[in-house]
Copies of this chain bind each other. A is one copy, B any other.
Amino acid sequence: MHPSNPKSKRSRKHVRPGAAPGTLVGDPRAEKSRIRVLAFGPDRCEEREVTDILDLRQLLEAWPTVWVDVAGVGDVQTVARLGELLQLHRLALEDVVNVGQRTKLDPYDEHLFLVTRVYDAANGHDSQQLSLFLGERFVVTFREHAPDPFEPIRTRVREGKGRIRTSGPSYLVYALLDAVVDLHYPALYRLGDEIEALETEVLGRWSETTIHRLHSVRSRLRGFRRELVPQRDLLHTLLQEELPCMSRSVHVYLRDCHDHANQLVDLVEQYREVSSDLVAACLSQASQGVNATMRVLTVISTIFIPLGVLASVYGMNFDPTTSPWNMPELRWRFGYPAVLAGMLVVAGAMLVWFRRAGWIGANGDARTPAPAERS
């Protein structure tokens, strides 16, 4: 089993019990923030990397929809100033900085705040926190790392295909959430392939490492479920409730995205069931193995131990010269052949008994779990 860190130390909350709410405590190990702005209207779009936050104000005034993407949340100064400019709530900003939040949806008066985790296709086994603010005219996304999983969406905006440029910030939020959910597909399919390989292994010859890999697969499935179920619930809330800044026109798209999340959760459950079965099959085979081993030991021991005692008896040194009662058999003409024959009879009787008891097969061979039988 590989150590799994359900809550890695890096994402631990920097909390001082009793501290005032909305205190932004920077994580000195976090990356510096990098702000990319993508402003667009039905006809045009403008893409720019922003260093001075004041540049943003003018973009926000000029364009109908502005997407501000912040990579790296350790730079508390920048986050705080951005929050001030866009009037984001202090409590929400605290959650942005304290990565390791649960997937959640908090409506504030002027904006909608949501947090979720993005499966990190790049480094394959971890996820980063995505914090997202939706205002009337802007979307702000905060991510922990620089690598951008949303590049295909930028491309869609740049190329102006589909409804993305014309449908405002709500549709952009949908597109982002859809990408977040769909990122799980390739990862889950890879896991499915691994489960299939493990299945083949279990049916054939498996070893300790098979079990460890099964445990690792199950632990990763738990991780996926931990991410997907809250995302599904978040999408359900988005569909059910009247929320600020969220246009009802994207409902039909959110429903589709909700379907995908449901499908992924189903897939995870199916994989979990199959992997449970495989673990059970391994355990059952192992216990059958012990059983078979025991049976062989019993057959061999119970046949040979009495024979050994018989042989030992005639190895005793009682002096036949001192008494006619002392082992006269040793001087009989057919004493030795008779003993050998007696041994054969005892062994044969036991074999018959064992065969009747079902411990050895009809071919007189102890039922060992030969590879062919085991699969």
* A residues in contact (CB < 8 Å) with B: 1, 3-7, 12-13, 15-22, 89, 91, 94-95, 100-102, 104, 106, 108, 149-153, 156, 161-162, 164, 175, 178-179, 182-183, 185-186, 189, 192, 196, 199-200, 202-203, 205, 208, 211, 215, 218-219, 222, 226, 252-253, 255-256, 259-260, 262-263, 266-267, 270-271, 273-274, 277, 281, 283-284, 286-291, 293-298, 300-302, 304-309, 311-320, 322-323, 325-327, 329-337, 339-340, 353, 356-359, 368-371, 373-374
Known A226-B270, A311-B315; 16 more pairs at CB < 8 Å: A1-B277, A5-B196, A17-B149, A18-B153, A21-B178, A286-B291, A293-B295, A300-B301, A304-B305, A304-B309, A309-B311, A314-B317, A316-B317, A318-B329, A318-B335, A322-B331
Whether A306 and B317, one on each chain, are in contact in the complex, defined by CB atoms closer than 8 angstroms, is no
What B residues does A304 contact at CB under 8 A?
305-306, 308-309
What B residues does A374 contact at CB under 8 A?
208, 358
What B residues does A334 contact at CB under 8 A?
323, 325
A277 to B253, CA, bound (A): 39
Select A301's contact among B149, B183, B297, B319, beta carbons within 8 Å: B297
In the complex, 9 of the A-B residue pairs with CB atoms within 8 angstroms, ordered by the A residue number, are: A15-B185, A15-B260, A17-B179, A19-B182, A22-B162, A208-B374, A219-B277, A296-B302, A314-B316
Considering the complex of A and B, which 5 residue pairs feature the smallest CB-CB distances, nearest first? A18-B152, A311-B312, A17-B182, A6-B270, A314-B316
